[in-house]
Structure formats: structure tokens, C-alpha cells
């Protein structure tokens, strides 16, 4: 996606890039509105490039460029309020915990500036996201099994592992333990897991 690469080329801490970004900032916002955040497919393409850069270790933004990235993430989340898209939401979770700007000696991660978005205020959002991820895990195991079945032990392993991950993530999004525990219990009741699995997750939440 050439537009995405063009936009990302403005990132950098050297004076010439900072000056150029300041000069072109409003033009870049217009370009982003026209070519990136106008639809889900273009946002996904931009996030794919960001993810490739993350894998290659390019994870920091200059302060001014960081503002552009936050603008793109916010617009993406606005679209997700109207149109669910698992792949883009997964990218947001991954990328927002990897990319940052530096303020003095402190790293400010994207997650800090997007976690207050309306999208994440609904417990139903988290419940649906967790259940979808768990069900995707079941599907992957069934594909590997010639009988297309999944035993209870593997089922509980998938449920527990995902609840470990999402309980930590929800805490980063400023949910308190009581709400996380309430949601986790609802999911366990729905999935009909053994009490040992539930106990492990609840102990983990209370200790972290």
C-alpha cells in the first residue's frame, strides 16, 4: 500500500523530517481522510504495514507523527462502533501495546491514548470479543483433528489461556478486578468449564 508507506516516511526524529512533517501535517490529515480511514479495507492495509514494521523492530514514533497515528487509530475505532471487524480489532490490540513515543525518558504507548474510546466501555464488547477468540481457538483444534472434535481438557486449556490474556488486557484498559471477575464468571458459566479451570483464572486475576 503505497499511500501508507508514503505517510510512514514522515516519521523520524531528525530536524529535516520534523520540519517537513510540520509543514505537511494538514495535507497528511487530508490524505489520511481520503485514502486510509475512509473504509475498513484501507485501514487494514495500513495496519498490516505497521505490523510488518513492528515485527522488524520499528516501533517508535516522533511526537508529532504519533499524533497522526492516534488520529488513524481513533478513526478506526469509530468505524468499529458501526462495523465489527475482528482482524482490525486484533491489530489495534497488538499495535497499541507495541508502538510508542518518547517523552523525556518515558515511553507513551498508543494504548494509553486510545483506551478511553467509547468502543471499550461496553462489557458486551469484551464478552463478545473473548467468546469469538475462544471459538476461533476451538475451530483451529477441530481442523487439526480428523474426528472434528475437541476434548474437554483441550477446551478448558483454550478457555483458560484466553481468559488469562484478556484479563490482563482489560486491566490495561482500566477495568477493575470486580468487573473482570464478573465477566470471567459469565464466560465460564456459558462454556460449562470445570471448577479447577475457573479457580486458576480467578487466582491469576486476584494476584495481578
Model pLDDT, residue 74: 97
Per-residue confidence in pLDDT tens, the chain, 208 aa? 788 889 999 999 889 999 999 999 999 999 999 999 988 999 999 999 999 999 999 899 999 999 999 999 999 999 999 888 999 999 999 999 999 999 998 999 999 999 999 999 999 999 999 999 999 998 888 887 766 677 888 889 999 999 999 999 999 999 999 999 999 999 999 988 888 889 999 999 999 8
Domain residue spans of the chain: 2-116, 122-207
- Torsion angles phi and psi, residue 105, rounded to 5: -100, 5
Exposed e or buried b per residue across 39-67, where buried means at least 16 C-beta atoms within 10 angstroms of its C-beta: ebebbebbbeebeebbeeeeeebbeebbe
Sheet strand arrangement including 106-109: 60-61, 100-103, 106-109
For residue 108, give the H/E element and its range.
strand 106-109
pTM of this structure: 0.90
Amino acid at each position: 500500500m503505497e499511500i501508507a508507506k508514503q505517510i510512514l516516511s514522515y516519521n523520524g526524529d531528525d530536524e529535516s523530517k520534523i520540519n517537513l512533517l510540520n509543514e505537511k501535517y494538514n495535507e497528511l490529515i487530508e490524505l489520511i481522510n481520503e485514502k486510509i480511514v475512509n473504509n475498513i479495507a484501507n485501514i487494514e492495509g495500513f495496519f498490516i504495514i505497521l505490523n510488518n514494521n513492528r515485527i522488524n523492530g520499528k516501533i517508535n514514533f516522533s511526537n508529532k507523527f504519533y499524533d497522526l497515528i492516534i488520529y488513524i487509530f481513533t478513526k478506526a475505532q469509530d468505524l468499529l462502533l458501526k462495523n465489527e471487524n475482528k482482524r482490525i480489532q486484533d491489530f489495534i490490540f497488538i499495535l497499541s501495546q507495541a508502538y510508542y513515543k518518547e517523552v523525556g525518558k518515558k515511553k507513551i504507548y498508543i494504548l494509553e491514548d486510545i483506551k478511553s474510546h467509547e468502543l471499550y466501555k461496553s462489557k458486551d464488547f469484551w464478552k463478545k470479543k473473548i467468546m469469538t477468540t475462544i471459538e476461533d481457538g476451538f475451530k483451529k483444534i477441530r481442523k487439526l483433528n480428523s474426528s472434528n472434535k475437541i476434548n474437554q481438557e483441550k477446551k478448558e486449556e483454550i478457555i483458560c489461556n484466553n481468559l488469562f490474556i484478556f484479563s490482563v488486557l482489560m486491566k490495561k484498559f482500566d477495568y477493575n478486578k470486580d468487573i473482570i471477575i464478573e465477566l470471567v464468571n459469565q464466560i465460564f458459566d456459558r462454556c460449562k468449564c470445570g471448577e479447577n479451570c475457573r479457580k486458576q483464572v480467578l487466582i491469576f486475576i486476584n494476584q495481578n
